[in-house]
Amino acid sequence: MAQSGRFALSLKILTVLASEPGTMHTSAEIAGGLKESAVMVRRCFLLLHKQGLIEQRKGPHGGARLKLAPKQIGLGDVYVATESDWLTMDDPAVSPLMKRVREDGMGAMNETTLAQMLKRIRKAGGKSNGNGSHKNSPHKNGAHKK
């Protein structure tokens, strides 16, 4: 099964939002900075909003911003928001096992937070190559634990 790319793009979006947490960012602004499709950015906005990770506002001063502090957003939370069907099976013989594996995986992913990612990006000088990059971002700088 191929990855959709929503997880990676959502992480990029969240690091942009985390770099200026009080500022509303439009999908067009983020898409331009990340050299991504504005439609895909809006789709990710919807998924992240549904999971409670960002808030959105419509209108001339609209956009999106983080709803939680970066240290409260874990990578597992982002993965669940964007790739929610990971390791789900209808087979009653293995379904409980897969549920436990999925929960363990999400717990491990949530050990890394958005704040840690942002710190690493800043330490690297805000430069990356498109796999988490902000090199072309319009901004200078990137666990929701249950």
| β-bridge mates for residue 93, sequence order | none
Does residue 131 form part of some domain? no
Does residue 135 form part of some domain? no
Burial 66-86 (b: 16+ CB within 10 A, else e): bbbebbbbbbbbbbbbbbeee
Does residue 42 form part of some domain? yes
For every residue of 76-128, DSSP letters joined together read HHHHHHH-TTTT----TTTHHHHHHHHHHHHHHHTTSBHHHHHHHHHHTTT--
> Which of the residue ranges 17-31, 36-50, 81-95, 96-110 would you say has the lowest mean pLDDT?
81-95
**Residue with more model confidence, 70 or 4:** 70
Please answer whether residues 106 and 80 qualify as being in contact, where contact means their C-beta atoms are separated by less than 8 angstroms. yes
Does residue 20 form part of some domain? yes
Dihedral sign from CA coordinates of 56, 62, 20, 125: positive
Question: In this predicted structure, what is the pLDDT of residue 92?
Answer: 81
Residue-averaged pLDDT of the chain = 82
**CATH number, residue 41:** 1.10.10.10
Dihedral sign from CA coordinates of 104, 133, 35, 41: positive
State the residue range of the domain holding 93.
6-123
Please answer whether residues 84 and 4 qualify as being in contact, where contact means their C-beta atoms are separated by less than 8 angstroms. no
Does residue 69 form part of some domain? yes
Q: What is the mean pLDDT of residues 38-57?
A: 95
Does residue 19 form part of some domain? yes
Q: Which of 76, 75, 79 is nearest to 5 (CA)?
A: 79
Tens digit of each residue's pLDDT (9 = 90 or more) over 106-139: 889 899 999 999 999 889 876 544 444 344 333 3
When mean pLDDT is compared over 37-46, 80-89, 101-110, the highest value belongs to 37-46
Domain count, the chain: 1
Question: In this predicted structure, what is the pLDDT of residue 100?
Answer: 87
Does residue 34 form part of some domain? yes
